[in-house]
Chains A and B, each alone.
Chain A
Amino acid sequence: MSAATSKKITPELIAQHGITPEEYERIKEILGREPNITELGIFSVMWSEHCSYKNSRPELKKFPVTGPNVLVKAGEENAGVIDIGDGWAIAFKMESHNHPSAVEPFQGAATGVGGILRDIFTMGARPIFSLNSLRFGDIRGDSEQAKTNRRLLGGVVAGIAHYGNCIGVPTVGGEIYFDNSYNGNPLVNVFSLGILRHEDIRRGAATGTGNPVFYVGNRTGRDGLAGAAFASRDLTEDSKADRPAVQVGDPFIEKLLLEACLELYKHPEAVVGIQDMGAAGLTCSTCETASRGNSGIEIDLKKVPQREPGMTPYETMLSESQERMLIIVHKGHEQTVLDIFRKWDLPVAEIGFVTDDTLMRVKNGNEVVVEIPARKLADEAPIYHREAREPADLLERRQFDFSKITEPDDYAATVLELASSPSLASKRWVYRQYDHMVRVGTVVNPGSDAAVIRFDTGDGKWKYLAASVDCNAKYVAADPYRGSLIAVAECARNIAMSGGVPLALTDNLNFGNPHDPEIFWELQQSVNGLADGCRFFNTPVTGGNVSLYNQNPAGAIDPTPTVGMVGLIAEEKHITSSHFKKPGDAILLVGDWGWEIALSAYAREIHGVLTGEPPQLDLSREKRLHDAVRSLIRLGEVHSAHDLSEGGLAVALVESCFGGKVPVGASIDIPADLRLDVALFNESQSRAILTTRGENATAVIELLARFNVPALRIGTVGGNELAITSGSKKISWSLDQLDKAWGLAIETLME
């Protein structure tokens, strides 16, 4: 016996692996004996929240996952697949890399991008764009915390850029918020989408007894043994210094792996199944493919390409080295696989075969080091129904005293202050570090309501996709149900403003420790909100990710259920962006003036009033807005459309001045009987600003009325300033002034 099988399993070792005594009893029951150290490690990763969703699975079951256009359901494979017509489909998903990014922002974020891209091309799809959703603590000021937050922002953005730019998948949009609840625990959620033909969908199942199992891609090293680093010290013969716990990404290798896999997919006769080695690496890919195939699998670790000698079975099985794939090959087609991966100069090795005994068997040469029933390991992790309890301070969180919101004396300065706050300011400094144009598919660049991407379906025909990610976590913290519903509605609104119809969505649930009943309540309420939103907008969930234990010493992060939604735009001429285009165009406010100021960016940033209820959301009213705007877009009446969200009308107007080759101004009239700050800054839902030909404004308003959507003309596009008049008050800013405040705010803080 070797150290891999002989090491004594003590209660301490079990606890260090995060396995409870009850779970350990269950493991013994499954095996009919004590596990060895390698098996213990394997159970610990497969039964972690990350791999098994043991705390969240009962909640996730509430999501609608079926629909007429769903080709592969959430949870079945690495990513869900949605039909988009003409034999084409999309695979997309969002995943988090929060904890690695907190420790090492550059590599943490970079490998987050690498991981989600593999999830997509494992499905047989070519990734065509990525988005991201990021959260950091405040980056303003000279405090140590602010400096750390700036370092994290800089590192995460550079890491995403490094990986995405090199592999040549454009990062076309996203969102970033800054709030001190994320101090020490930034959120890095990365979304990626790929396209494929229906017949090219690949599955991660190991079937056909005797079929060979191939390992391709990067060699396995000791990187990424995060949860298990302690044990690697115990186990290695020579006591080398600690190894870094964060994986190191190599986008160049991933680019080769991507192209080689896509080339291999052109030989459907050769491939039985394929799965990437992400979290839990070899362990997860072997037991999951066997479980899906209702088969067994046997591999020999001596045949695994390794980066360094002397790695133990424990390390090899638990390594999270990046850019690796497991491929089940039809017997007799081994040479096809060898030829393709050798052409791309990638390591390739036959490491085992499919069996019919339903066991995951791992050998190290002649010694059997692991023997576990694959299905029990992959699919029968314990499930916990956690206790949920409404937070004791919920009423405090919703407390709002309008008398504290005093009208500003200097509107000109207030608008600039709000527009330059990092969460609302232009994210140009961020997205210009991302190659957002490679693949010549980006039709609407970052900064608009939704990114719009085209792809060539052959025969000179194109398809157009709109995509958006959203979540206002302040709303969610005060009311997880409504806040989450708003996140879905805002995504759908962004798609509608771009001329698209929503197809499906992916979510990334970022929460604190689920053992805290108040946090679990937030998760539960939030899932209810997302699920209701999905049902309402007919957007099934294609999969996603759960990231729990997002805590810092001051407590949990704001609950952040990030939503990523994809829609289809029927024709090129329907593609609509948010910036003002033509001088003389009428500016219409669609919806109404609104009134809800609680939890608005204005209340929080300008008045320091941090609590309150999120705005109301009337779903039918929301839907009417989407249908009405889409209809107008199809009629060719809409030159720009921009939804109103954080910062209200004022910030939407500032944003709309920029985005074209040259900025365009506007003049706006607000009735004198409205309180101006409420009119400018409220965040009532289901509203947008549209521009249309000046002479058509009346007709367009009448058309909107037919949809039962109120609208009125509030101004005209043109000039080189943004001017707002309300009775005797006249406020104006030169475009230059706005560009400095709003456009350069983040750049100024970062450089």
Chain B
Amino acid sequence: MRWAVIQFPGSNCDQDCYHVLKHVLGQDAYYVWHKNDSLEGADAVIVPGGFSYGDYLRCGAIARWSPVMQSVKAHAADGGIVIGICNGFQVLCEAGLLPGALIRNRSLHFRCESRPLRVEHPHSLFTKKLLTGQILDIPIAHGEGNYFADPETLKSLQINRQILFTYSDRAGRATPETNPNGSALNIAGIMNKEGNVLGMMPHPERASESILGGSDGKAIFESVIEAKEPKGAVAA
């Protein structure tokens, strides 16, 4: 699969995503510069974490206007796969590819730590290889990851089963105590209604090698790869 990793000025998880896709998963990964308006034939696009354009004005608010994001929108509209991680999730919300917004953490502090995440269901491109209620250990690292949306939007996220990951404890209970940032419904990751765009605050690329403490995050990338390149399919 061809994976385009977007590079905005201020992206700082671009190399991490590239490393995991290329070296851990053996994918055809490459960078796309923000001033570029072509995705060079990508099957999937990663909008990585970091501080795009310094996160001035508001996280992701400037990035949405960059030339490359117009191509990412077109790619998504064509059913192409897009994964926004951390700052990438913020950019996708600002760009209107995902509903809602991410605001300051309830604690007002940046928070970096591994958190248990509960998988809500496996019926998506991104969770295909996971089980309902499965607990994943994936780190968060953000100051503005508090997911916010109006009640109707939250309701439709639930009805359409767009919520994929929630902050929980090890027993799978999602409570205010297990919520690191104040997110509505303990939301850690959602997809769009069509199911081809994922946004999540936790960093699966930081949990894709056992030497870093666990590889639970790898299953998310693998789900996408398996959906697009079913085992047994002969590469062209």
Contacts and interface: CB of A to CB of B under 8 A. Distances in A.
A453 to B, nearest CB: 11
Interface stretch (A163-171, A234-242, A412-420, A533-541): A163-171
Contact of B109 (A433, A436, A437): A433
Given A432-B113, A440-B19, A255 B9 contact: yes
A168 B49 CA distance: 10
Contacts of A442: 212
A434 to B, nearest CB: 6
Nearest to A445: B213
A737 B213 CA distance: 26
Contacts of A435: 110, 112, 141
Contacts of B20: 440
Interface in B194-209: 203, 205-206, 208-209
B59 to A, nearest CB: 11
B10 interface: yes
A310 to B, nearest CB: 26
Interface string A660-701: 011000000000000000000000000000000000000000
Contacts of A436: 112
Contacts of A443: 211-212
A252 B9 contact: yes
A661 B137 contact: yes
A311 B217 CA distance: 53
Which of B9, B54, B114, B213 is packed against the most chain A CB atoms within 10 Å?
Answer: B9
A705 B15 CA distance: 47
B88 interface: no
Interface string B5-49: 000011011011001100100000000000000000000000001
Given A438-B12, A440-B19, A433 B110 contact: yes
A456 interface: yes
A605 B220 CA distance: 49
Nearest to A429: B109
Contacts of A454: 211
Interface in B46-90: 49-51, 53-56
Contacts of B110: 158, 161, 165, 433-435
A437 B20 CA distance: 14
B139 interface: yes
B141 A438 contact: yes
A32 interface: no
Which of B107, B114, B212 is packed against the most chain A CB atoms within 10 Å?
Answer: B212
A404 B203 CA distance: 53
Contacts of A87: none
Given A166-B51, A255-B10, A256-B9, A433 B206 contact: no
A250 B54 contact: yes
B23 A437 contact: no
Contact of A437 (B10, B55, B112, B208): B112
Contacts of B143: 165
Nearest to A662: B170
A407 interface: no
Contact of A252 (B16, B56, B114): B56
Contacts of A751: 107
Interface in B139-168: 139, 141, 143
A572 interface: yes
A105 B191 CA distance: 40
A548 to B, nearest CB: 33
A438 B137 CA distance: 16
Contacts of B111: 432-433
Contacts of A344: 9
A255 B112 contact: no
A437 B9 contact: no
B55 to A, nearest CB: 8
A255 B211 contact: no
Contacts of B19: 440, 456
A440 B55 CA distance: 22
Interface in A106-156: none
A252 B54 CA distance: 5
Interface string A439-457: 1101101000000001010
B203 A168 contact: no
A702 interface: no
A256 B8 CA distance: 10
A434 B112 contact: yes
A68 interface: no
Interface string A485-526: 000000000000000000000000000000000000000000
A283 to B, nearest CB: 28
Contacts of B213: 445, 661
B47 to A, nearest CB: 15
Given A167-B12, A456-B19, A661-B137, A433 B112 contact: yes
A167 B10 CA distance: 7
A345 interface: yes
B216 to A, nearest CB: 11
Contacts of A161: 110
Contacts of B137: 661
Interface string B84-115: 00000000000000000000000101111110
A641 B13 CA distance: 32
Nearest to B11: A168
A540 B12 CA distance: 33
A309 interface: no
Contacts of B114: 661
Contacts of B10: 166, 252, 255-256
A553 interface: no
Interface in A385-443: 431-440, 442-443
A255 B109 contact: no
Nearest to A462: B211
A432 B112 CA distance: 5
Contacts of A166: 10, 12, 51, 54-55
Given A432-B112, A434-B112, A440 B16 contact: yes
B92 to A, nearest CB: 20
Nearest to A460: B23
A160 to B, nearest CB: 10
Interface string B202-236: 01011011011100000000000000000000000
Contact of A255 (B23, B51, B212): B51
A746 B121 CA distance: 38
B25 to A, nearest CB: 13
Interface of A: 158, 161, 165-168, 250-253, 255-256, 344-345, 431-440, 442-443, 445, 454, 456, 460, 572, 661-662, 751
The 10 closest A-B pairs by CB, nearest first: A168-B12, A252-B54, A440-B16, A166-B51, A435-B141, A435-B112, A432-B113, A433-B110, A161-B110, A437-B206
11 contacts: A158-B110, A165-B143, A168-B12, A252-B10, A253-B54, A432-B113, A437-B141, A437-B206, A438-B12, A456-B23, A662-B170
Given A344-B9, A433-B109, A434-B110, 12 more contacts: A166-B12, A168-B12, A168-B51, A252-B51, A252-B55, A253-B54, A433-B111, A434-B112, A435-B141, A438-B49, A438-B141, A440-B212
